[in-house]
Amino acid sequence: MPSVVGLLEERERAARQRVEALQVELREAEAVWERFVIAREAVAEVLAESRGGEEVPPVVVAGGRTVRDPAAPGSVVPHWREGLAPAVLAPDYQRIMHVLACGNGPGGEAMDCRQLAVAVGLEPVPAKVEGVRSKAKRLAEEKPGMFSVAAGRAGGS
């Protein structure tokens, strides 16, 4: 029969091997993450150069992250915080926020994606409605499938 100390040593060895394997996996994941950070920064530089070298001031968003070109199409939607203006959003997102802020739903209520697509000037076909849905979910989903701007988030746009 194996001793208790022997069993503990065996489990300790297994735990140490698992920790070492996880440390290797962590280093690999950090390297991948670092490459994405570098790639994003390089793309921001290239976009700034394509604008004739004009420097775009960075915008600080929630979590201390900075966004170099906050209104670029395809940009990430920052987490809302007090004082964050709709101008940091890409134009499509700004239009959605404007429609929601104006309360263009029936009776000024929350709107579904089909209503929202029509309100921003798109045909209510499935492809357009789904595009609006994905953008609206990032901005202002009140409850599943219904969208509005919470009080204080309209930002005067």
**Residue 66: strand pairing partners:** 60
118-146 pLDDT tens trace: 888 888 888 888 888 888 777 765 566 66
Confidence at residue 109, expressed as pLDDT on a 0 to 100 scale: 72
Phi first, then psi: give them for residue 108, nearest 5 degrees. Answer: 75, 15
Cα–Cα distances in angstroms (integers) from residue 72 to residues 42, 53, 56, 68, in the given order: 15, 16, 11, 9
User: What is the spatial distance between Cα 12 and Cα 9, in angstroms, rounded to a whole number?
Assistant: 5
Q: What mean pLDDT, rounded, does the chain reach? A: 74
1 compared with 15, residue with greater pLDDT: 15
113 compared with 54, residue with greater pLDDT: 113
70 compared with 123, residue with greater pLDDT: 123
26 compared with 152, residue with greater pLDDT: 26
User: What is the spatial distance between Cα 27 and Cα 1, in angstroms, rounded to a whole number?
Assistant: 40
